[in-house]
Homo-oligomer: A and B are copies of this chain.
């Protein structure tokens, strides 16, 4: 850990060839196997013991004190520790200062408990160490990835058997791809759009080859824009920056009183853009299926219709909400997603995969042709190498994990999780509305809600006050909510996050709200009540 910790009392370890190569050999004898298994036991259950003892974000040690322990920057020449000591250190010294995202009291972010079998599946993928960038280092893993992509594609687009028979193992077409995370999935989708809209044509070899400046010239435009709601994930803005169209051209449309993209404002903006003397191409409209802050779903069917009418590419960021499609009961909430040209879904969110696994799906199996890259030594034309159409290069066979999980859970298993989240969030909202100390800010459409501490007497003042008074009160409430959230986090028993939302009323104030994400099946209404109790207690002592 720090310099003092590395002072070895044991006889000094020495790196030598014999010891080293042994770590590469499959152990043959029972004794070595038993040792390796023992380490695995330590990892599986040593951590479990810790996770039982600690909840939320432990703060016994401040961030500053903790940082001070990790300042040594010299790599030791000889080994500092044996594997068993490294594991022990990780379990005893490191893990206690990590965040117990698996606790049912950790309801602040989109990171949560994962089923234990995910750890087994990831271990298997790690031991195989395939690289799906090319068939020569993956073979069956690349084939299986295509199958899993088709399975999820079918959940979204519901094309017929003929379509999937044609494309599931077609080397020339692509139903989607696995990528690092939702940010990279959104970037991939918008990269594909940009290249499809600014495609090669007479005397122009396409934006990918000639760049933005030449593309705008060839197409006689001065700027490209992408339209999103102002609750869109910041990765869309980042994608605009990375892709060279400029992040100020990611136009954020206001939301309606339900935190969904405001269709009237959207239509107005489209009209303005079309009439603007600055010749502008609308590359895409992005709908959100599960906004990061509020969990709300944009009116996807309406957005799809607007896109079709105006011949605009339609992308849906369903990084959060995508797996809702697995629930017969709630999949209607994502109605219209099948109209999307592309859809982002995160595996490490509501597919409960280990960190991290993003995916992006495309309606048109040939659209990824706009991002093809070949190389002599890999990804040769005509090969089935998945790296030919992919933002990333080397990557592990995460599809094996999703495939295994789908087999173990069935869609019904996933839908139970989805339904638990949505219904528990509903009950939680009722509880918040019952308590006079709280104000529900955004109702849960999926399994995310926001609220704030706003005692009844203050609420009354807020209703009756002048605009000036209201602004003052909101400022004060912001301070209170910010403090309560921090104090609760620091107490280490539970964790809700906070964010800032612009409220839809005459003040248009930015208000600080508490944000809950209900995805852990062990999180129930009683735990949520405890969390509210604690917040009330902290508030009462402020």
Contact = CB atoms under 8 A, between A and B. Distances in A.
Contacts of A23: 115-117
Interface string A217-231: 000001110000000
Most buried by B among A23, A76, A91: A23
Nearest to A153: B73
Interface in A404-438: 404, 406-413, 416-417, 420
Most buried by B among A129, A216, A241, A371: A129
Contact of A500 (B111, B139, B292, B376): B376
A338 interface: no
A217 to B, nearest CB: 9
A395 B180 contact: yes
A55 B141 CA distance: 17
A466 interface: no
Nearest to A69: B143
B237 A223 contact: no
A223 B234 contact: no
Contacts of A139: 57, 63, 66, 97-99
A123 B154 contact: no
A111 B129 contact: yes
A144 interface: yes
Most buried by B among A137, A154, A205: A137
A497 interface: yes
Nearest to A78: B410
A168 B376 contact: no
A411 B75 contact: yes
A434 B384 CA distance: 37
A245 interface: yes
A521 B20 contact: yes
A409 B137 contact: no
A123 B126 CA distance: 8
Nearest to A145: B70
A124 B43 contact: yes
Contact of A73 (B134, B150, B240): B150
Contacts of A115: 23-24
Chain A interface category by residue count: 35 or more
What is the copy number of this chain in the assembly?
Answer: 2
Contacts of A196: none
Contacts of A396: 354-356
A286 interface: no
A523 to B, nearest CB: 10
Contact of A245 (B70, B211, B374, B500): B211
A77 B411 contact: yes
A68 interface: yes
A503 interface: no
Interface stretch (A46-54, A256-264, A265-273, A529-537): A46-54
A169 B67 contact: yes
Interface stretch (A31-39, A302-310, A359-367): A31-39
A469 interface: no
A40 B223 CA distance: 55
A394 B20 contact: no
A119 B286 CA distance: 39
B355 A20 contact: no
A247 interface: yes
A57 B393 contact: no
Nearest to A374: B234
A154 B373 contact: no
A298 interface: no
Interface stretch (A79-87, A451-459, A470-478): A79-87
Interface string A165-191: 100110000000001111110000001
B243 A243 contact: yes
B241 A411 contact: no
A248 interface: yes
Interface string A333-362: 000000000000010100000111010000
Nearest to A522: B24
A127 interface: yes
B67 A407 contact: no
A105 to B, nearest CB: 14
Given A63-B384, A213-B223, A412-B15, A94 B140 contact: yes
B119 A126 contact: yes
B354 A129 contact: yes
5 contacts: A15-B412, A101-B131, A108-B136, A126-B355, A180-B392
Q: What 5 pairs between A and B have smallest CB-CB spacing?
A: A244-B244, A211-B246, A183-B393, A97-B140, A23-B115
Given A15-B409, A346-B394, 9 more contacts: A21-B521, A63-B135, A71-B169, A76-B406, A94-B140, A181-B393, A207-B246, A213-B213, A376-B499
